[in-house]
Amino acid sequence: MTYHATTPFGQRPVTAGLLENARAARAPAPVPRVDKWQLFRQLCTGRLAFGVTDRELGVLNALLSFLPEQSLDSGETLTVFPSNRALSERAYGMAESTLRRHLAALVRSGLITRQDSPNGKRYARRDRGGEITQAFGFDLRPLLLRAREIAEAAQAAEDAAARLKSLRETVMLKKRDAYKLAEYGVAEGLPGNWEEILDQLALLHRNSRRKLDFASWEELHTDVDNLLIKVLGLVSETEDMSGNDVNSERQFQNSKQDTLVSEHCLETSDGASERSGNEVVKDESEIQHSPASIRVPLALVLKACPDVIPYAKDPIRDWRDLCKTTQVVSGMMGISRSALDEARAAMGSECAASVVAGMLQRVDEIRNPGGYLRSLTAKAQLGKFSPGPMIMSLLNRETS
């Protein structure tokens, strides 16, 4: 005769929760069988819905390991009866007092139930063939009964984590845009209270480094979104930031740019070169061969800087094509038209295009592309910069 007691052994009191869990454990299983380790992984994912900690899940993992079958089967005995010593060993040496506390928490959560023997010991009674007829210990059947609930909780937790990750990424991207645009405003001397804006961004950055819940990330998103709108408004008032527009009529908007492109992207071996913004020197003896005027072969530039190729409207066949493409790319990187014009004036359009292509190739390493190009332009004006070493360095990195 087999009888399953409802009340606990010893001094443990009867509670409404204990009686409810006992009744639920006798209900028919919604699924006949489930892989115990797959179910355990789902429980780990959705554990917050069941109010269990990682330490309690470690104890449950140890209990599951005492069940010889791979699956939780409604037709099998799902009660395990390890001693505290054996259970502690599989729980990585957990102290017995801690073990008892976590076992009690698992029972309260309704994930396991106790099947107490008359003397409170854990053991199994077997028939002559060695089959278990009754076991006293921890019944794992509630896991099978709640398999669908556990799976749904795991899916809900994964969905929530995905939403949180997407929101966090959006905050980080907007924060980065606001910060770099603010740096651009400072570098270009645009009007605006940039110091205050940078201080606000620094505070947002510090807050974003803390462990936040979804609601806190939503508040942070609102703050950074408002700040980005403010920065964009300040920049758009003084600077045309539409450099990433690929329409041909917006790529060259002034006669100075047209002159530069025609003089340097189409110049031949007749020695025509650029002395100032739009002055052409036709006398070979008047040409100043500064280091910046030494042109790297186009094929070598494209080999060292392949990231520029996808931005071209048509295949890049000559220097004019590269100049047009880097005109688009420079705006996308936040380089102002004035900074690009100065670079072309100091280096020549072809060398400037090579520099911009090189900057694009390692744009993740350049904190302020506009300021960086201006610093190279200043060196070129002093005859202390040539794009050759930059391109060769990129070429060596590309082929290594």
pLDDT in tens, 67-79: 988 989 877 788 8
State how far the Cα of 249 lies from the Cα of 119, in Å rounded to an integer: 91
pLDDT at residue 63 is higher than 80: yes
Quick: pLDDT tens for 17-60: 665 666 655 666 677 889 999 999 999 999 999 999 999 999 99
Question: Which region among 10-24, 92-106, 350-364 has the lowest average model confidence (pLDDT)?
Answer: 10-24
The pLDDT of residue 9 is above 50: no
In this structure, what token pair is assigned to residue 161?
Answer: 């984590």
Highest mean pLDDT among 110-124, 209-223, 380-394: 209-223
- So where are the chain's domains? 16-145, 161-238, 248-399
Pick among 1.10.10, 3.30.70, 3.90.1690, 3.30.43: CATH of 16-145? 1.10.10
How far CA 108 is from CA of 15, 30, 39, 60, 95, in Å, comes to 10, 22, 19, 13, 20
Residue 97, strand partner residues: none
Q: How many other CB atoms sit within 10 Å of the CB of residue 187?
A: 18
Token pair listed for 312: 């071209």
362: its two tokens: 């390692």
pLDDT of residue 399: 53
Paired tokens of 76: 């099998």
Q: What average pLDDT does this structure show over 101-115?
A: 90
How much is the mean pLDDT over the chain? 77
Residue 245, pLDDT > 50, answer: no
Task: Record the tokens describing residue 248, joined without a space.
Answer: 């041909």
Q: What is the dihedral of CA 135, 138, 140, 142, to 10 degrees?
A: 110
305-359 pLDDT, tens digit each: 999 998 888 899 999 999 999 998 888 888 999 999 999 999 899 999 999 999 9
CA nearest to 20, candidates 104, 138, 108: 108
Distance CA 171, CA 178 (A): 10
Predicted confidence (pLDDT) at residue 131 exceeds the cutoff of 80: no
Please compute the mean of the pLDDT values over residues 288-317 and round it to a whole number: 77
For 382, the token pair is: 């002093």
**Paired tokens of 189:** 């001397």
Q: Which residues pair with 135 in a beta bridge?
A: 124
Q: Where are the alpha helices (DSSP H) in the chain?
A: 16-25, 36-45, 54-65, 84-90, 96-109, 141-145, 147-188, 194-208, 214-238, 255-264, 298-304, 319-332, 337-347, 349-361, 369-381, 387-399
Q: In the structure, what pLDDT confidence band is assigned to residue 119 with cuts at 50, 70 and 90?
A: low
